[in-house]
């Protein structure tokens, strides 16, 4: 079981990051009411993370970046296809059920907001620079998206997963933020936050 101190830190990060993301998304949605459900946060063994985010057979949209700066690694926002289609309808009025170039561009912007919100929160907590690349977008079964996200990640142990849920115009939107710092940089973050021995 995860140490309570680490879990409390992850939940604080989740709340701060999701709060920032909620504000930014509300602005994108022209002030539509956005209700935030307090997210869950877990550090999971590598082998369990794919099932936690919905199972390898579920079709998802993955928006992912490479993180550079003082901390190197990968970060992704994975959401079920149904949630992605709800967001596209709210963002650009697209209810076609298709992910075309315009939809991909909107999802890139959405993912950038979500990921940057969490990176900025973690950066402020650690005073470390973390810069995301331009986001990539993939639509596939979760197992395939998961493998593409992990392809360049230098991670051998645990994966940080922050589950998010929003309500906008009565619609539920679910997703998962995945944070995969390189192992050495994860230890750097833990050391700065006093978590390495707990």
Q: Say what the pLDDT of residue 1 is.
A: 41
Per-residue pLDDT at 153: 64
Structure tokens, 157: 């142990």
Terminal CA-to-CA distance of the chain, rounded, Å?
Answer: 12
CATH for 4-192 is 3.40.1550.10
Instruction: Quote the pLDDT of residue 180.
Output: 82
pLDDT for 196 equals 58
Q: Mean pLDDT for each consecutive 10-residue tract of the chain (198 residues)?
A: 65 80 78 67 76 79 91 89 88 80 90 88 87 91 77 66 81 85 76 65
Determine the pLDDT at residue 69: 92
At residue 198, the pLDDT reads 47
Six token digits for residue 119: 């990176």
Residue 81: the pLDDT is 92
CA-based Rg of the chain, rounded to a whole angstrom? 16
Residue with tokens 């550079």: 68
Give the burial class of 136: count Cβ atoms within 10 A of its Cβ; 0-12 exposed, 13-18 middle, 19 or more buried: middle
* Residue ranges with strand state E in 46-87: 59-69, 73-80
Is 114 in contact with 21 (CB distance < 8 Å)? yes
Across the chain, the runs of DSSP E, i.e. the strands, are 34-45, 59-69, 73-80, 130-132, 136-141, 158-168, 171-181
Identify whether the C-beta of residue 67 lies closer than 8 Å to the C-beta of residue 75.
yes
The pLDDT value given to residue 133: 93
pLDDT at 197: 54
**Using CA atoms, how far apart are residues 66 and 97, in angstroms rounded to an integer?**
28
In this prediction, residue 151 carries a pLDDT of 65
Report long-range pairs for 101-105 (Cβ below 8 Å, ≥24 apart): 104/137
**Residue 114 confidence (pLDDT):** 86
Could you state, in order of their start, the residue ranges of all structural domains in the chain? 4-192
Report the candidate in 105, 54, 60 with the shortest Cα–Cα distance to residue 78: 60
């Amino acid at each position: 079981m995860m140490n309570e101190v680490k879990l409390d830190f992850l939940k604080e990060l989740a709340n701060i990051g999701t709060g920032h993301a909620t504000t930014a998304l509300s602005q994108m949605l022209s002030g539509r009411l956005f209700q935030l459900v307090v997210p869950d946060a877990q550090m999971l063994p590598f082998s369990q993370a794919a099932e936690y985010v919905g199972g390898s057979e579920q079709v998802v949209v993955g928006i992912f970046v490479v993180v550079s700066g003082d901390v190197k690694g990968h970060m992704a926002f994975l959401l079920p296809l149904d949630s992605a289609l709800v967001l596209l309808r709210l963002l650009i009025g697209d209810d076609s059920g298709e992910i075309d170039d315009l939809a991909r561009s909107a999802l890139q912007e959405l993912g950038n907001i979500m990921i940057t919100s969490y990176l900025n929160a973690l950066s402020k907590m650690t005073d470390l620079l973390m810069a995301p690349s331009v986001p990539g977008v993939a639509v596939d079964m979760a197992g395939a998206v998961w493998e593409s996200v992990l392809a360049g990640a230098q991670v051998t142990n645990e994966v940080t997963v922050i589950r998010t849920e929003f309500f906008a115009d009565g619609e539920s939107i679910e997703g998962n933020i995945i944070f995969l710092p390189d192992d050495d940089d994860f230890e750097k973050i833990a050391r700065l936050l006093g978590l390495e021995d707990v």
